Amino acid sequence: MQKKQLGNSDLNITSLGFGAWAIGGAGWEFSWGPQDDKKSIEAIHRALELGINWIDTAAVYGCGHSEEVVAKALNEWRDEKPYIFTKCVLRWDNNGKVFQNYKPESLSQECEDSLRRLNTDVIDLYQLHWPPDKNEALIDGAWEMMARLKDEGKVRWIGVSNFNIEQMKRALKINPITSLQPPYSLINRNIEAEILPFCKEQNIGVIVYSPMASGLLTGAMTRERIENLSAEDWRLRWEEFKEPKITKNLGLAEKLKKIGKTHNATAGEIAISWTLKHPAVTGAIVGARSAAQVDGVMNVRSFKLDEDEVNELEAHFS
């Protein structure tokens, strides 16, 4: 599998990484619904068998449970261990309600908690999960703490997630940024005009999340399946899963399936390939909840979308 250097780091990552959001399971505000840990571990192992060399998780996924499942999967994995990326800033209460805590001492404690749950001595990439809700001046103290955690050897590299350019510029005055993690898909192209060129110019690696728009572009999503999602599934609150957008989104998935037949690939693989064609994108985070799902979207194939195919896909919403 193709590898690229992640920003200013010494990490050479595969074009795809395993996303561990959904395997956090139920019981928290942004859950994907109940999840079988055994299937999660099988999914991680299958991704590693296919050559993927990094896993992206976060403390908040499942209120710590995702990190614990990742640790269990890697404890059972006997071959070369992948890089571990995780995130901080988002914390939770006893009811699974998520809130931000940007205090430097909170980030330090979060790091210790993640190291414990992940059963590791060092985190390869530690990321601020979201920018501050209101007071952007909070970035200063938080980024200083992130740099300190790096200096202390608890994390190897530090990055940000969901930051805009001004927020990244603020952090850059304090310490370099290794990576940005933004959403990016055919449904959400907001980062193309300014953020991706800025990251390219600043040598900030970009690892995009939701390249298949949280399942909408896998080719397996249907209206019936949406109706049968767990009541806890956060996607039921997302406008892209509701009318009038769902008809257009499922229509795009059909185009992806048609193009996929030309390349002997799934709709999901075509959607992911489209995100990877941008020169500023280092890799894409791909979630899966079973080994079968991994096989449907992480069998990286040596194909390239031609100009007509790209134009057909990009014209869908015009």
Question: Which tens digits make up the pLDDT trace of 153-169?
Answer: 999 999 999 999 999 99
**Over the chain, what is the mean pLDDT?**
96
Q: Which domains does the chain have, with CATH numbers?
A: 14-215+276-301 (3.20.20.100)
Block residue for tokens 């996607």 = 235
Q: Are 202 and 172 in contact (CB under 8 A)?
A: yes
Block residue for tokens 């991994």 = 294
pLDDT-derived band at 1, boundaries 50, 70, 90: confident
3-class state of residue 54 by DSSP: strand
Question: Which tens digits make up the pLDDT trace of 60-89?
Answer: 999 999 999 999 999 999 999 999 999 999
| Helical ranges in 102-233 per DSSP H | 104-118, 138-151, 165-172, 195-202, 223-227
Beta strands in 20-150 (DSSP E): 54-56, 83-88, 90-92, 98-100, 123-128
d(CA 211, CA 46): 20
Helix (H) / strand (E) element for 71: namely helix 65-75
Residue 306, pLDDT score: 93
Residue 304, pLDDT score: 84
Residue 301, pLDDT score: 62
Q: Is the pLDDT confidence value at 303 over 80?
A: no
Q: Are 252 and 217 in contact (CB under 8 A)?
A: yes
Q: Is the pLDDT confidence value at 299 over 80?
A: no
Q: Are 182 and 191 in contact (CB under 8 A)?
A: yes
Q: What proportion of the chain, given as a percentage, has pLDDT over 70?
A: 99
Torsion on CA atoms 145, 148, 150, 155, rounded to nearest 10: -50
Q: What proportion of the chain, given as a percentage, has pLDDT over 90?
A: 95
Question: Which tens digits make up the pLDDT trace of 17-32?
Answer: 999 999 999 999 999 9
Q: How far is CA 81 from CA 8, 51, 52, 57, 219, in A?
A: 22, 11, 10, 15, 31
Instruction: Give the active site residues.
Output: 61
Q: Is the pLDDT confidence value at 315 over 90?
A: yes
Question: Which tens digits make up the pLDDT trace of 201-258?
Answer: 999 999 999 999 999 999 889 999 999 999 999 999 999 999 999 999 999 999 999 9
DSSP state of 183: B
> What's this model's pTM, rounded to 2 decimal places?
0.96
Q: How far is CA 274 from CA 116, 217, 254, in A?
A: 37, 12, 15
